[in-house]
Amino acid sequence: LFLAAPPKEPVLMCRSNNYPKGFYCSWHLPTPTYIPNIFNISVIHGTREMVCEKDAFPKNRCHIRYLQLFSTVKYKVTLTVTNALGKNSTSLTFDEFAIVKPDPPESVVAKPVPSNPRRLEVSWQNPSSWPDPESFPLKFFLRYRPLILDQWQHVELSDGTSHTITDAYAGKEYIIQVAAKDNDIGTWSDWSVAVHATPWTEEPKHLTTEAQLTETTSSSTSSFMPPPTTKICDKGAVVGSGAVAVCWTAGLVVAAYGVLFI
């Protein structure tokens, strides 16, 4: 026997995974009410009220198309939930640029490179939900580690959908993931599905030398935070020659340690 309840404050999330087409909002109740609830969503942009079209699936989701790009005025989304016992609401206010978060890269493939015991070739594709990678290019973040170790290595790539790892430990199975982000705005996607690969070996797997392993495990750990955490430097960091290093991210520290390993 369950007790019917008025709705608690709903949880609302809005995101643009298909910039510049538009964005979607999805919601849910933190605790069940055990009776039917009606959700009403309103989107206001400046003085204009926009219609958020409900999706057939999944439920509790609606999408909206941008009428204009590069807007200075924020969007305000208000969600109201009502049932027989009461109502509750929540709202979000955001800039067009702040909610951009692509879906993870797709079709991640990692392969050994023949005759190269320390290399792995990784390739992937832009998420299919991203409508215009030509005009709105994505940049990528690759992370990889041998299964036997906990510490990830990271590479940020501003161009292209492939990368060759050149410092893999011979004969060790690796786990690899990729994340995507609009080149200039928004936040990193979630990590892609993980792929596994082992570098080419001439014979059946041989043990890595004790020296290699101790060198790895005794290295000091840098305080690296995974890219999906929004960092002020992500938006400002410029990749490419002649770029001005405007900030120092922990990722650069790890890259420096990575260089020491090679």
Q: Which of 64, 57, 172, 41 is nearest to 117 (CA)?
A: 172
* Binding flag, residue 243, other proteins (CB under 8 A): yes
Q: By CB under 8 A, name the one of 110, 176, 185, 195 that touches other proteins.
A: 185
Of the pair 35, 73, the CB lying nearest other proteins is at 73
Which of these ranges, 7-15, 24-32, 161-169, 229-237, lies near other proteins under the rule CB under 8 A?
229-237
- Cα dihedral 198, 158, 66, 233 sign: positive
Find the distance separating the first CA and the last CA of the chain, reported in whole Å: 63
Q: By CB under 8 A, name the one of 247, 253, 256, 261 that touches other proteins.
A: 247
Q: Closest approach of Cβ 74 to other proteins, in Å?
A: 5
* Binding flag, residue 68, other proteins (CB under 8 A): yes
- CB-CB contact of 55 with 61 (8 Å): yes
- Residue 254 phi/psi, 5-degree rounding, is -65, -40
Q: Closest approach of Cβ 80 to other proteins, in Å?
A: 18
Which of these ranges, 49-57, 130-138, 161-169, 252-260, lies near other proteins under the rule CB under 8 A?
130-138
Q: Which of 164, 154, 134 is nearest to 228 (CA)?
A: 154
* Binding flag, residue 46, other proteins (CB under 8 A): yes
Q: Closest approach of Cβ 60 to other proteins, in Å?
A: 24
* Binding flag, residue 223, other proteins (CB under 8 A): no
Q: Which of 163, 164, 168, 155 is nearest to 199 (CA)?
A: 168
- Alpha carbon dihedral 86, 64, 93, 57, in 10-degree steps, equals 50
Q: Closest approach of Cβ 234 to other proteins, in Å?
A: 11
Of the pair 2, 70, the CB lying nearest other proteins is at 70
Residue 82 CB partners (closer than 8 Å, separation 6+): 7, 37, 38, 40
* Binding flag, residue 48, other proteins (CB under 8 A): no
Q: Which residues of 39-73 are buried (b: 16+ CB within 10 A; e: fewer)?
A: bebebbbeeeebebeeeeeeebbbbbebeeeeeee
Of the pair 79, 165, the CB lying nearest other proteins is at 79
* Binding flag, residue 160, other proteins (CB under 8 A): no
One character per residue 71-90, x = contact with other proteins (rule: CB under 8 A):
xxxx-x--------------
Residue 213 CB partners (closer than 8 Å, separation 6+): none
Q: Closest approach of Cβ 40 to other proteins, in Å?
A: 21
Q: By CB under 8 A, name the one of 207, 232, 260, 262 that touches other proteins.
A: 232
Residue ranges in contact with other proteins by CB under 8 A: 20, 46-47, 66-74, 76, 93, 97, 134-137, 183-185, 232, 235-236, 238, 240, 242-244, 246-247
